[in-house]
Amino acid sequence: MKLDRVQQEAFVRLQQFATSGEPLAPYTTYKLGGAAAVFASPRNDVELALVAEVVRDTGLPVLVLGRGSNMLVADTGYRGVVVSLAAMSEWLEFHDDVVHAGAAVALPVLARRCSAAGLVGFEWAVGVPGSIGGAVRMNAGGHGSDMAASLVGVHLYDMHRAVRAWVPVANLELRFRGSSLADHQVVLDARIQLAVGDVVASEASLAEIVRWRREHQPGGQNAGSVFVNPIPGELPAAVLIDQLGLRGFRVGGAVVSEKHANFIQAEPGATAADVRAVMQHVRALVREQAGFDLRSEIRLVGFDDVADEPAEGVRW
């Protein structure tokens, strides 16, 4: 990727812990998409503050990357600064029934560690291949629970104001697969309140959730459920898509899964544009035939026709 003057300025200032033209496909579960103009991996708060300073000075967009499990990167890549917190936020602490986890911790890892410690209520996360930071942002959930059920609060870093603060869960405005967090607000860590329970029963629950997911959801290159259920708990998006006969619908190397109609698989040779085209077709047909305007769970990154996230974000 050839950098323009502004991108080059950002890279030069961050080069001690950044690369340019870093392919983003390996960082996502779709394994698709182009490169980042600047890919920064800050190792501490000082380096994160420098990223914030550079973003403010250059006006480049910024994207915080977790495990890429709900993200589709455009084939043309991302023209701004991608920030990975893996080097500074992959840690766990247990304090009685409260878990303190860095934003880069994988949800399945946390679920298993909690279970082994005799803490229950987070088993649902064992099958969600995301990070704590991403899970907070989208209020990830499944099997009757979600982040909102146990989250106490988070440490946020606001890259526009260069301010770090503790923010209680109420301020995050968590909703079904969403929150009020904006792109410039970085989840650094989260505090989770669980209950003391039986290790054997908890581990049995983990095993059952893993079994259920393997039976009902496809593997391979995908990002999980593509669309938010239009009526949570009552009308799954998969049912609407299935009723319209869209299982197997294909554009290029992207196809609606035959196993689960709310999954779009990326087969060999697929492009991000293929996946996007399938998403657009499914959404348009559901709107036309069923009257529901499906909201995407998938974060579209680098697509010119996708509006930016709300700029204001969480207030504190």
Query: C-alpha distances in angstroms, 287 versus 88, 281, 295?
Result: 43, 10, 11
Token digits for 15?
A: 């080069």
* Residue where the block lists tokens 């000082």: 46
Contact 142, 127 (CB under 8 A): yes
Contact 68, 163 (CB under 8 A): no
Token digits for 12?
A: 């030069």
Q: Which of 296, 248, 293 lies closest to 276 in space, CA to CA? A: 296
Active site residue 177: yes
Token digits for 279?
A: 């998403």
Annotated catalytic residue: which of 67, 177, 191, 299?
Answer: 177
Question: What secondary structure letter does DSSP report for 95?
Answer: E
Active site residue 208: no
Annotated catalytic residue: which of 89, 115, 202, 225?
Answer: 225
Token digits for 299?
A: 């974060």
Annotated catalytic residue: which of 112, 276, 297, 299?
Answer: 297
Active site residue 297: yes
Active-site residues, by number, are: 177, 225, 297
